[in-house]
Amino acid sequence: MIRLLILGVLGYLIYQLFAGGKSAGGGKKSTARRPPADSGGRMVKCASCGLYVPENEAVLKRQGGGQVFYCSEKCAAGAKKKPD
């Protein structure tokens, strides 16, 4: 009786080893990269370095009655240091 139980357990373990515990979906996780979700906003160009960033992530500064977008605080601070 114990032999039968041990054989059953070994058989199950061997089956799991070779079957790999695959599910109905193939058992492997997808490694394909998904495109980024569309933020729905427009892209704006950094006035300092030219990098395009989503408008909702850009740093907005008001200069001369207009709006100027920067990709980061670092670019915004660097633009202030440049002589016009």
Q: Is residue 74 part of a domain?
A: yes
Specify if 7 maps to a domain: no
* pLDDT level of residue 27 (50, 70, 90 thresholds): low
What is the model's pLDDT at position 30? Answer: 56
User: What DSSP assignment string belongs to 9-74?
Assistant: HHHHHHHHHHHTT--TT-S----PPPPPPP-SSPEEE-TTT--EEEGGGSEEEEETTEEEEESSHH
Residue range 34-67, pLDDT digits in tens: 556 665 679 999 999 999 999 999 999 988 889 9
pLDDT at residue 26, rounded to an integer: 52
Q: What is the mean pLDDT of residues 15-43?
A: 66
Q: What pLDDT digit, counting tens, does each position of 68-77 carry?
A: 999 999 999 9
Interval 28-32 mean pLDDT:
59
Question: Is 55 a domain residue?
Answer: yes
- Per the structure, the complete domain to which residue 83 belongs is given by 40-84
71 within domain boundaries? yes
Q: How many domains does the chain have?
A: 1
Residue 62 lies in a domain: yes
Residue 80 lies in a domain: yes
Q: Is residue 29 part of a domain?
A: no
- Residue 69 in domain: yes
